Amino acid sequence: MSAPDATQPEPGPATREGGRFVFRAQVFTADDLRRAHTRIAHEIVERNHGADGLVLVGLYTRGAAVAERLAAIIEGFEGVTVPVGALDVAFYRDDIGLRPVQPLGPTEVPVDVTGRTVVLVDDVLFTGRTVRAALDALTELGRPRAVQVAVLVDRGHRELPIRADFVGKNLPTKRAEDIRVRLAEVDGEEDTIEVWGPADGGGTGER
Amino acid sequence: MRHLLSVDDLGRDGLEELLDLGESFLEVTRRDIPKVPALRGKTVVSLFYEDSTRTRLSFETAAKRLSADTMAFSVSGSSVAKGESLRDTVQTIEAMGVDAIVVRHRSAGVPHRVTTWVDAAVVNAGDGRHEHPTQALLDALTLRRHRGTGLDGARIAIIGDIRHSRVARSTTKAFAALGADVTLVAPPTMLPEAEAGWPATIGGDLDDLLPTLDVVYLLRIQHERQDAALLPSLREYTMRYGLTRERAARLKPDTLIMHPGPMNRGVEIAAEVAEGPASVITEQVANGVAVRMAVLYQLLGSGATVA
């Protein structure tokens, strides 16, 4: 396919077709993200009539960071310390053997999930396959009373009957596009969420 | 990585990658349900032409914890006893649809030969005096967990029948590749004949080395070596090369003591030392399951390449 364009500023990672991703648009600034976290935290507590009996379980890598942020916000306005866990779903994925699947971090859930309401937290909801794997991984840790899903971005293109309960932003995308999430504690950069697309995709917003 | 035959197949990056994966699986093995569905539908067969308890059990446990199906093939009671050739045996097994074959054989090079006959991934579980790469991986994981990432600068003595030991060969290579400074200590009849393939200092005085060491790695002294005139007597071996209580007392307080098992208590290691706080021998066994999960996952599951 097309060779990377040397004049393109900061070419992104290679696309599946062998081209390069280029920046299209910023959908969340750091301030937008802060507000979205605050709103999601409130919605979680509102939906569950309080924060007792909740566990926030983040999916590696950035979901784990988002879960920590949500717990800190809930503690701030509700005065309840919600347990936070992190889940690595690599060994539960259904695409093992089809692409390189490597674990991203240690699974650590500090409390027994049995009888509690677990909120799975991730940055982007796309095909739903990560959440599917997370449900399997969670099952082995216990029997939650209920499982809910919170994400910063729902970009569509679901391949499984899975939906998010709490969404920062619904963002219709093309399949070939890439949502780049950058969080300070994971990436060492200012918080941002951007849409990148293939350089030869002919879309709008290209520099 | 298509097969794992030798530590040489890995290099430092490949080793580190497998050890990282091993750490992830160690976490899995500590869960209430120490099992993940990663290799569902895959079949792993162990083909052992030599006696083994721990290696065989360790591989089978590793495969089961990855949800692979396992088959065990032992020479006694099989058609090998009726004179079937290795090649026919291997091809028969593969025709049953296996994804990985774990091979142990008394002759060096057999696992490599097997790779030329089958499409399945082949793992060397010990071939003659050649290599035992998963032992090296579990030793490296054990040390890394005690010392933090990398073994850079660690001073390690490997003591025992180095010349006839596949464990010594693989483990020396892995420790050296990860940056450790390895010294091989043994009676002259048990030191390697040549330096080639041994990235280590060959020969040294154990009593001089003791206070400088970060790790003492003891090999099993096989009783049959006494008959082969390599050793005057086990008693003399213990006096000169055994990790006795007196010698152990001269080690630094944080020196780790390792042994691949099975141990001859009272010969290469005193019973009290093997059970003392510096001994990480039982951890080695636990880590063995985790690194073998990493190897099987890397070969059959991840689709990633090490080499």
CATH number of the CATH domain containing A131 = 3.40.50.2020
**Tens place of pLDDT per residue across chain A (207 aa):** 344 444 444 556 666 555 688 999 999 999 999 999 999 999 999 999 999 999 999 999 999 999 999 999 999 999 999 999 999 999 999 999 888 899 999 999 999 999 999 999 999 999 999 999 999 999 999 999 999 999 999 999 999 999 999 999 999 999 999 999 999 999 999 999 999 998 876 544 433
Q: Two tokens at B131?
A: 């290599």
SS3 A143: coil
Chain B neighbors of A88, CB-CB under 8 A: 24
Q: Do B21 and A103 touch (CB under 8 A)?
A: yes
- Give the SS3 label for residue B150: coil
Residue-number span of the structural domain to which A104 is assigned: 31-171
Calpha distance B183→B213 (Å, rounded): 10
Q: Percent of chain B beyond pLDDT 70?
A: 95
Closest approach of A109 to chain B, Cα-based (Å): 11
Verify whether the Cβ–Cβ distance A96 to B24 is below 8 Å. Answer: no
Task: Compute the mean pLDDT over every residue in chain A, rounded to the nearest whole number.
Answer: 90
Q: What is the pLDDT of residue B100?
A: 97
Mean pLDDT of B136-142: 98
How many A-B residue pairs are in contact by the CB < 8 A criterion? Answer: 48
> pLDDT > 90: what percent of chain B?
84
B299 CB near a chain A CB, below 8 Å?
A: no
CB contact, 8 Å: B301 with chain A? Answer: yes
Tell me if B31 and A96 make a contact (CB, 8 A cut-off).
no
In a domain, A95, yes or no: yes
A99 contacts in chain B (CB < 8 Å): 303
Choose the closest CB to B24 out of A92, A98, A103. A103
Which chain A residues are within 8 Å of B37, Cβ to Cβ?
91-92, 136
CATH numbers and ranges of domains, chain B: 7-132+286-300 (3.40.50.1370), 133-284 (3.40.50.1370)
Question: Would you tell me the crossing angle of helices B281-300 and B133-147 to the nearest 10 degrees?
Answer: 120
What integer pLDDT is reported at residue B222 of this predicted model? Answer: 77
Over residues B79-100, the mean pLDDT reads 88
Minimum-distance CB partner of B302 among A100, A136, A140: A100
Note whether residue A186 is domain-resident. no
Shortest Cα distance from A163 to chain B (angstroms)? 24
Q: Is A13 domain-assigned?
A: no
Residue B155, beta-bridge partner list? B181
In the stretch 112-131 of chain B, residues with CB closer than 8 A to chain A read: none
Q: Is residue A191 part of a domain?
A: no
Over residues B203-230, mean pLDDT: 88
Least confident window among A6-15, B79-88, B105-114, B187-196: A6-15
Count Cα neighbours of B187 within 13 Å in the Cβ-side half-sphere: 21
Q: How far apart are CA B113 and CA B132, in angstroms?
A: 16
Give bridge partners of residue B242 from the DSSP assignment.
none
Residue A119 within any structural domain of the chain: yes
Residue A123 lies in a domain: yes
Assign residue B199 a region: left if phi > 0, alpha if psi is -120 to 50, beta otherwise? Answer: beta
Task: Indicate the DSSP class of residue B21.
Answer: H
Chain A residues in contact with B31 (beta carbon < 8 A): 107, 140-141
Give the closest-approach CA distance of B300 to chain A in angstroms: 7
Where is average pLDDT lowest: B58-62, B104-108, B224-228?
B224-228
- State the nearest Cα–Cα gap between B18 and chain A, in angstroms: 11
Q: Is the pLDDT of residue B159 over 80?
A: yes
In the numeric block, the tokens 């994981």 are attached to: B141
Tell me how many domains chain A contains: 1
Choose the mutation target among A92, A94, A96 for the interface with B, i.e. most B CBs under 10 Å.
A96
pLDDT at B214: 96
Question: Which residue, among A60, A102, A135, would best test binding to B if mutated, counting the most B CBs under 10 Å from its CB?
Answer: A102
Q: Dihedral angle at the C-alpha atoms of B75, B102, B160, B168, nearest 10 degrees?
A: 150
**pLDDT of A115-127, one tens digit each?**
999 999 999 999 9
The torsion defined by the Cα of B156, B130, B5 and B143, in degrees rounded to 10, comes to -10
Chain A, 62 to 101: residues with Cβ < 8 Å from chain B are: 88, 90-92, 96-101
- The beta-carbon neighbor of A107 closest among B23, B27, B297 is B27
- What chain B residue is nearest to A109 in terms of C-alpha separation? B31
Asked if the structure places residue A196 within a domain, the reply is no
Per-residue pLDDT of B272-294, as tens digits, reads 999 999 999 999 999 999 999 99
Q: Which pLDDT score, from 0 to 100, does residue A15 have? A: 63
- Check if the beta carbon of residue A159 is closer than 8 Å to that of residue A171: no
Q: Is B29's Cβ below 8 Å from some Cβ in A? A: no
Cβ contact, residue pair A101, B302, below 8 Å: yes
To test the contact with chain A by mutation, choose from B19, B24, B33 the residue with the greatest count of A C-beta atoms within 10 A, namely B24
CA distance A28 to chain B (A): 33
In a domain, A5, yes or no: no
The residue written with tokens 């041994």 in the block is B198
Which chain A residues are within 8 Å of B28, Cβ to Cβ?
Answer: 91, 107
What chain A residue is nearest to B21 in terms of C-alpha separation? A103
pLDDT of residue B137: 98
* pLDDT tens-place string over residues B161-200: 999 999 999 999 999 999 999 999 999 999 999 999 999 9
| Residue B80's pLDDT band (cuts 50, 70, 90) | confident
Taking CA–CA distances from B28, the nearest residue in chain A reads: A107
Residue A123 CB-half CA count within 13 A: 19
Mutate one of B17, B28, B33, B36 to test the A interface: name it (highest A CB count within 10 A). B36
pLDDT average, residue stretch B43-67: 94
pLDDT at B74 over 90: no
- Confidence check: pLDDT of B225 > 70: no
